[in-house]
C-alpha cells in the first residue's frame, strides 16, 4: 500500500530558460529532504536529472527528467525540463502531468525568451503558477527592479510570498508570518498585506471578515481561497532562492508542501470522450475508488529496459495486478511491474494513487499521449494535449551503408515516439527522407543518438524546401479521355471549375453535376484524379492547397466509361484549369528571433535584409544583449547558423517558427517552373 494518498501529492514542473538553474535547484531540494547526501553538480556531471552522457558533456538538459521527495508529510513529484528553444517540445509535453508550473528565472539574466513562452504555455493549460527567482546572491542584481519587471510582464497578480535579506544570503517568509526583520527590498508587512489582500478577493465572506472586523487571518483560513486564487491565475506567488548556497530552500519546500495544489485542488485535466467533432468534455476525478485512468506523457526507449512508458495517474488505483487497456484497444496488458522514476533509476512500487507519476516497461502498444484505463467505460478517452511548435529545421537523411535502411527506419520511429516535435517526412517526388526538428541543436542530438545508441551511420544534406502551389484566380478546365485498344475502350469527359479558397482553408471538392451527365459512381474517381494532382503539383511539382474544385458537366459512355477513364479525365481537366487560374508558388515564411550582443545589431540587420527578410522590432536586454524579431523566407536560412556565429563571435542564437506562406518573387517562380517543365520533358 502507498504510504500517502492523493491529497498528499503535489505535481510540479520546473520550467524556464536555459541557465536559470533548474537542475541545480532540483539537487538542492533533494539534498534538503535527504533523498541524496550532497547536491550534485552540473559541471561535473553528477546531477540526478542530467544523467544522459550527452547532457553531462554539454552541461545542460536535453530532456525532461522526473524525481520525487517527501517533505512535511507531502509527496512532491518534480519534473526538471530543458530550457533551450530546440527542446521546447520536451518541456511542453510534461505540462499535461502537473497541476503547477514553477517558472524559474535567473536573477542576473532576468526575463528571457523561453521564460515568456513557457509562461504562456502554462497559462493556456490553466495551470497554477509559481515564480522562483534563482541566484539571488549573484553580483550586480537588483531584485526589487526584477520583481517589478516580472509584474509588468506577467501581470500585477505576481506578488512576493517571501523576500530576500542580507544581500540574498537568506530569505524571510511573508505569508505565514505578518511581520519580520529587514529585507533587501520592500518589507515583510507590505508583502504580507499585498498577498492577503489578493487572496481574500476570491472569497466574499472572508473579505468581509478581513475588512469589516479588521481581523488578522490565519494561514488555515486562507488555504482554500489561496488555492482558488492559484486556479484562477488571480495570484502567482514569487519566491526567492539561491540553489547554489541553499538560501530560500526551506521556505520553498514549505510553499510546495503547504500551498501548492494537490490533484483535487488544481484545475481539472481537460479530458474528452469520443472522436472528431463528436468529442465531449468528460470529468475525471482524483478518487482512488473509481476506475483507473492514466495518461502517458513521456516515452523512453532504453537499450536494456526496452520501451518505458511514463504516465500520470488521474483517477483510481493502479497496482502490479492491474489489467490496463491502451486507448480503445480490445486486449489489455498486465502491469507486471510498477515503477517510480528517480532520474535514470526505476524504483519498484506496489501501488499508484491519483496524482502519482509512474512507469511501466516492455509494453509494445504503449505510446505517447495514450490514455490507460482498466474499464471499457473509458474507451475513447483523450486528454487535450499541448500544442507543440511546428518543426521547421530539416535534414535529408540516408544511410552511409547499404542494407541499413530498415535499421534506420526503426531507429527513427523510436526517436519519433519519444519526441512530439521530431517529425519524419517522406518526399516521394524528391525521393528523400527528411527529419525535422526545432533547431540545429535538436537535430544534432538526434543524429548523435542514431550513431551512439542505435549504431546507424547516416549521411545528411539540406532538404527540399516545403513549397506549395495555389491559384489566384478562377478558371474552367476540360478534358475528354478516349482510348480504343481493340477490345473494350476507355471514355470519360469532365468539365470543372477551380477557384481559390481562403488561405489555410484547404481543399474542397463540389459535385454540381445535374441531369445524370456523369453517373454518381464515377464522381469519386474524378476526385481521385484531382487529388493526385494536389499531391504532385501542377506547375512546379509541389502540393497544391487552398483550392475549391467544382465538377459541373461531362459525358460518359454506357460501355466504355470506367473509373480509370474518369480519374484520368479529372486529373487532366484539373491541370488545364490550374494553368489558366494564375497559379503561384508559395514559400514558407518564418518568424525569426535572434539574441546577440547589441554591438552586432547592424550586421545582423543587414544580413537579414540580404536574405529577403525584414525586422519587425528589437528589444534591449540585460548585459548588453539585444533580441531582434523579424520574418524571413525559410529558403534563405540555409547555412544561417554558421553565418550567425561568424557575425556574433559565436555568441548569437536564434529560433524560428512558421508564420505563413507567401508567393515567391516572380523571377524565382519562373526559374522553378522552367526547371520543373524541363524535368517533366
Q: How confident is the model at residue 388 (pLDDT cuts 50, 70, 90)?
A: confident
Element (H, E) at 11: strand 9-15
Whether 308 and 375 share a structural domain:
yes
Whether 121 and 183 share a structural domain:
yes
Kind of pairing, strands 293-302 and 306-315?
antiparallel
Closest CA to 298 of 353, 344, 367, 250: 367
Confidence check: pLDDT of 28 > 80: yes
**What is the tens place of the pLDDT at every residue in 118-175?**
999 999 999 999 999 999 999 889 999 999 999 999 999 999 999 999 999 999 999 9
Q: CB of 105 within 8 A of CB of 133?
A: yes
Which is it for the CA torsion 431, 436, 441, 444, positive or negative? Answer: negative
Q: How confident is the model at residue 430 (pLDDT cuts 50, 70, 90)?
A: low
- Determine, yes or no, domain membership for 487: yes
Q: What is the DSSP string of 244-301?
A: TT-TTHHHHHHHHHHTS--TTTSPPP-EEESSGGG-EE------TTS--EEEEEEEEE
In this prediction, residue 648 carries a pLDDT of: 85
Confidence check: pLDDT of 247 > 80: yes
In whole angstroms, what is the distance from residue 322 CA to residue 680 CA?
A: 60
Which is it for the CA torsion 355, 356, 357, 362, positive or negative? Answer: negative
**What is the tens place of the pLDDT at every residue in 282-298?**
999 999 999 999 999 99
Q: What is the grid cell recorded at 45?
A: 556531471
Neighbours of 124 (CB within 10 A): 12
- Determine, yes or no, domain membership for 217: no
Element (H, E) at 596: strand 583-597
| Percent with pLDDT over 70 in the chain | 98
- Determine, yes or no, domain membership for 422: yes
Give the mean pLDDT of the chain: 92
In this prediction, residue 313 carries a pLDDT of: 98
- Determine, yes or no, domain membership for 223: no
Q: How confident is the model at residue 273 (pLDDT cuts 50, 70, 90)?
A: very high
In this prediction, residue 208 carries a pLDDT of: 83
Whether 577 and 591 share a structural domain:
no
Whether 444 and 535 share a structural domain:
no
Mean pLDDT for the stretch of residues 491-512: 93
In this prediction, residue 385 carries a pLDDT of: 81
Whether 331 and 316 share a structural domain:
yes
In whole angstroms, what is the distance from residue 437 CA to residue 640 CA?
A: 16
Distance set, CA 315 to CA 283, 378, 383, 617 (Å): 10, 11, 13, 47
Phi, psi of 103 (to 5 degrees): -85, 115
Whether 433 and 503 share a structural domain:
no
Q: What is the DSSP string of 437-477?
A: ESSHHHHHHHHHHHHHTS---EEEEPPPP--EEEESS-EEE
Q: How confident is the model at residue 386 (pLDDT cuts 50, 70, 90)?
A: confident
- Determine, yes or no, domain membership for 94: yes
Mark which of 362, 383, 404 sits at the end of a domain: 383
Mean pLDDT for the stretch of residues 403-409: 92
In this prediction, residue 215 carries a pLDDT of: 62
H helices present in 88-142, as ranges: 88-93, 113-124
Mark which of 341, 360, 383 sits at the end of a domain: 383
Mean pLDDT for the stretch of residues 409-413: 94
Kind of pairing, strands 158-160 and 236-240?
parallel
Q: CB of 587 within 8 A of CB of 661?
A: yes
Q: CB of 49 within 8 A of CB of 67?
A: yes
Q: How confident is the model at residue 513 (pLDDT cuts 50, 70, 90)?
A: very high
Closest CA to 357 of 460, 263, 240, 289: 263
Print the domain residue range for 633.
586-668
In this prediction, residue 486 carries a pLDDT of: 65
Distance set, CA 388 to CA 103, 118, 156, 259, 647 (Å): 19, 11, 28, 30, 30
Mark which of 432, 461, 490 sits at the end of a domain: 461
In whole angstroms, what is the distance from residue 158 CA to residue 475 CA?
A: 57
Q: What is the grid cell recorded at 501?
A: 479558397
Q: How confident is the model at residue 615 (pLDDT cuts 50, 70, 90)?
A: very high
CATH number at residue 240: 3.40.50.300
Distance set, CA 77 to CA 1, 123, 248 (Å): 18, 20, 19
CATH number at residue 342: 2.40.30.10
CATH number at residue 624: 3.30.70.240
Q: CB of 17 within 8 A of CB of 112?
A: yes
Confidence check: pLDDT of 91 > 70: yes
Question: What is the widest separation between alpha-carbon atoms in the chain?
Answer: 103
CATH number at residue 507: 3.30.230.10
Q: CB of 83 within 8 A of CB of 114?
A: yes
In whole angstroms, what is the distance from residue 395 CA to residue 450 CA?
A: 14
Whether 379 and 282 share a structural domain:
yes
Q: CB of 611 within 8 A of CB of 639?
A: no
Q: What is the DSSP string of 185-249?
A: SS-HHHHHHHHHHHHHTT-HHHHHHHHHS-PPPPHHHHHHHHHHHHHTTS-EEEEE--TTT-TTH
Whether 558 and 595 share a structural domain:
no
Q: How confident is the model at residue 204 (pLDDT cuts 50, 70, 90)?
A: confident
Whether 101 and 81 share a structural domain:
yes
Neighbours of 414 (CB within 10 A): 16
- Determine, yes or no, domain membership for 218: no
| Percent with pLDDT over 90 in the chain | 73
**What is the tens place of the pLDDT at every residue in 643-671?**
888 888 777 878 888 888 999 999 999 99
**What is the tens place of the pLDDT at every residue in 549-566?**
999 999 999 888 899 999
Name the most confidently modeled range: 421-425, 460-464, 571-575.
571-575
- Determine, yes or no, domain membership for 22: yes
In this prediction, residue 213 carries a pLDDT of: 63
Whether 251 and 293 share a structural domain:
no
Whether 255 and 323 share a structural domain:
no
Mean pLDDT for the stretch of residues 320-341: 94
- Determine, yes or no, domain membership for 371: yes
CATH number at residue 443: 3.30.70.870
Whether 449 and 540 share a structural domain:
no
In this prediction, residue 439 carries a pLDDT of: 83
Q: CB of 159 within 8 A of CB of 202?
A: no
Q: CB of 392 within 8 A of CB of 640?
A: no
Provide the b/e sequence for 486-512 (b: ≥16 CB within 10 Å): eeeebbbbbbbbbebbeeeeebebeee
Q: CB of 273 within 8 A of CB of 290?
A: no
In this prediction, residue 429 carries a pLDDT of: 60
Q: Using the 8-state DSSP alphabet, how is residue 318 labeled?
A: B
Name the domain count of the chain: 5
Q: What is the grid cell recorded at 368?
A: 505517447
In this prediction, residue 440 carries a pLDDT of: 84
Q: Is 488 helix (H, G, I), strand (E, B) or coil?
A: coil
Amino acid at each position: 500500500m502507498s504510504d500517502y494518498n492523493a491529497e498528499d501529492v503535489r505535481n510540479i514542473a520546473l520550467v524556464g530558460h536555459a541557465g536559470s538553474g533548474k537542475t541545480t535547484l532540483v539537487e538542492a531540494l533533494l539534498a534538503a529532504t535527504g533523498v541524496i547526501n550532497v547536491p550534485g553538480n552540473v559541471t561535473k556531471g553528477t546531477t540526478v536529472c542530467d544523467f544522459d552522457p550527452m547532457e553531462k558533456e554539454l552541461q545542460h538538459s536535453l530532456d525532461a527528467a522526473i524525481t520525487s521527495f517527501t517533505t512535511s508529510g507531502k509527496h512532491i513529484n518534480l519534473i526538471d525540463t530543458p530550457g533551450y528553444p530546440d527542446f521546447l517540445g520536451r518541456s511542453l509535453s510534461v505540462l499535461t502531468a502537473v497541476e503547477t508550473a514553477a517558472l524559474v528565472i535567473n536573477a542576473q539574466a532576468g526575463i528571457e525568451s523561453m521564460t515568456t513562452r513557457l509562461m504562456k504555455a502554462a497559462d493556456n493549460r490553466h495551470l497554477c503558477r509559481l515564480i522562483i527567482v534563482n541566484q539571488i546572491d549573484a553580483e550586480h542584481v537588483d531584485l526589487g527592479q526584477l520583481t517589478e519587471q516580472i509584474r509588468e510582464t506577467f501581470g500585477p497578480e505576481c506578488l512576493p510570498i517571501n523576500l530576500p535579506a542580507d544581500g540574498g544570503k537568506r530569505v524571510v517568509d511573508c505569508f505565514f508570518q505578518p511581520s519580520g526583520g529587514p529585507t533587501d527590498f520592500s518589507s515583510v508587512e507590505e508583502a504580507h498585506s499585498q498577498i492577503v489582500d489578493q487572496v481574500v478577493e476570491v472569497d466574499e465572506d472572508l473579505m468581509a471578515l478581513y475588512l469589516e472586523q479588521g481581523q488578522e487571518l490565519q494561514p488555515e483560513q486562507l488555504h482554500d481561497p489561496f488555492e482558488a486564487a492559484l486556479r484562477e491565475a488571480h495570484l502567482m506567488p514569487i519566491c526567492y532562492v539561491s540553489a547554489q548556497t541553499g538560501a530560500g530552500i526551506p521556505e520553498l519546500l514549505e510553499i510546495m508542501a503547504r500551498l501548492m495544489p494537490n490533484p483535487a485542488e488544481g484545475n481539472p485535466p481537460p479530458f474528452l470522450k469520443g472522436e472528431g467533432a463528436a468529442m465531449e468534455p468528460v470529468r475525471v476525478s482524483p478518487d482512488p475508488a473509481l476506475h483507473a485512468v492514466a495518461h502517458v506523457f513521456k516515452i523512453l526507449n532504453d537499450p536494456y529496459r526496452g520501451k518505458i512508458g511514463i504516465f500520470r495517474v488521474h483517477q483510481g488505483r493502479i497496482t502490479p495486478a492491474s489489467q490496463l487497456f491502451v486507448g480503445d484497444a480490445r486486449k489489455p496488458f498486465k502491469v507486471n511491474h510498477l515503477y517510480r522514476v528517480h532520474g535514470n533509476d526505476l524504483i519498484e512500487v506496489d501501488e499508484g494513487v491519483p496524482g502519482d507519476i509512474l512507469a511501466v516497461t516492455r509494453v509494445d502498444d504503449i505510446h505517447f499521449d495514450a490514455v490507460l484505463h482498466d474499464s471499457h467505460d473509458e474507451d475513447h478517452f483523450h486528454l487535450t494535449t499541448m500544442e507543440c511548435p511546428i518543426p521547421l529545421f530539416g535534414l535529408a537523411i540516408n544511410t552511409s551503408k547499404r542494407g541499413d535502411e530498415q535499421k534506420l527506419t526503426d531507429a527513427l520511429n523510436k526517436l519519433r515516439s519519444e519526441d512530439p516535435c521530431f517529425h519524419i517526412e517522406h518526399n516521394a517526388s524528391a525521393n528523400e527522407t527528411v527529419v525535422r526538428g526545432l533547431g540545429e541543436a535538436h537535430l544534432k542530438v538526434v543524429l548523435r543518438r542514431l550513431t551512439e545508441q542505435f549504431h546507424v551511420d547516416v549521411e545528411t544534406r539540406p532538404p527540399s524546401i516545403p513549397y506549395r502551389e495555389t491559384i489566384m484566380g478562377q478558371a474552367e478546365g476540360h478534358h475528354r479521355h478516349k482510348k480504343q485498344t481493340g477490345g473494350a475502350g476507355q471514355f470519360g469527359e469532365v468539365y470543372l471549375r477551380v477557384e481559390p479558397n481562403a488561405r489555410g482553408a484547404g481543399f474542397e471538392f463540389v459535385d454540381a453535376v445535374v441531369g445524370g451527365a456523369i453517373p454518381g459512381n464515377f464522381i469519386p474517381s474524378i476526385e481521385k484524379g484531382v487529388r493526385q494532382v494536389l499531391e504532385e503539383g501542377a506547375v512546379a511539382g509541389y502540393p497544391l492547397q487552398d483550392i475549391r474544385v467544382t465538377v459541373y458537366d461531362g459525358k460518359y459512355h454506357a460501355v466504355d466509361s470506367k473509373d480509370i477513364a474518369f480519374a484520368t479525365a479529372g486529373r487532366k481537366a484539373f491541370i488545364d484549369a490550374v494553368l489558366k487560374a494564375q497559379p503561384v508558388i508559395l514559400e514558407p515564411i518564418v518568424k525569426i528571433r535572434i539574441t546577440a550582443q547589441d554591438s552586432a545589431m547592424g550586421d545582423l540587420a543587414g544580413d537579414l535584409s540580404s536574405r529577403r527578410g525584414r525586422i519587425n522590432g528589437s528589444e534591449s536586454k540585460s548585459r548588453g544583449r539585444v533580441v531582434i524579431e523579424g520574418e524571413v523566407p525559410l529558403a534563405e536560412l540555409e547555412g544561417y547558423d554558421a553565418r550567425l556565429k561568424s557575425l556574433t563571435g559565436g555568441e548569437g542564437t536564434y529560433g524560428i517558427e512558421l508564420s505563413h506562406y507567401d508567393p515567391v518573387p516572380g523571377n524565382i517562380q519562373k526559374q522553378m517552373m522552367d526547371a520543373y517543365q524541363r524535368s517533366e520533358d
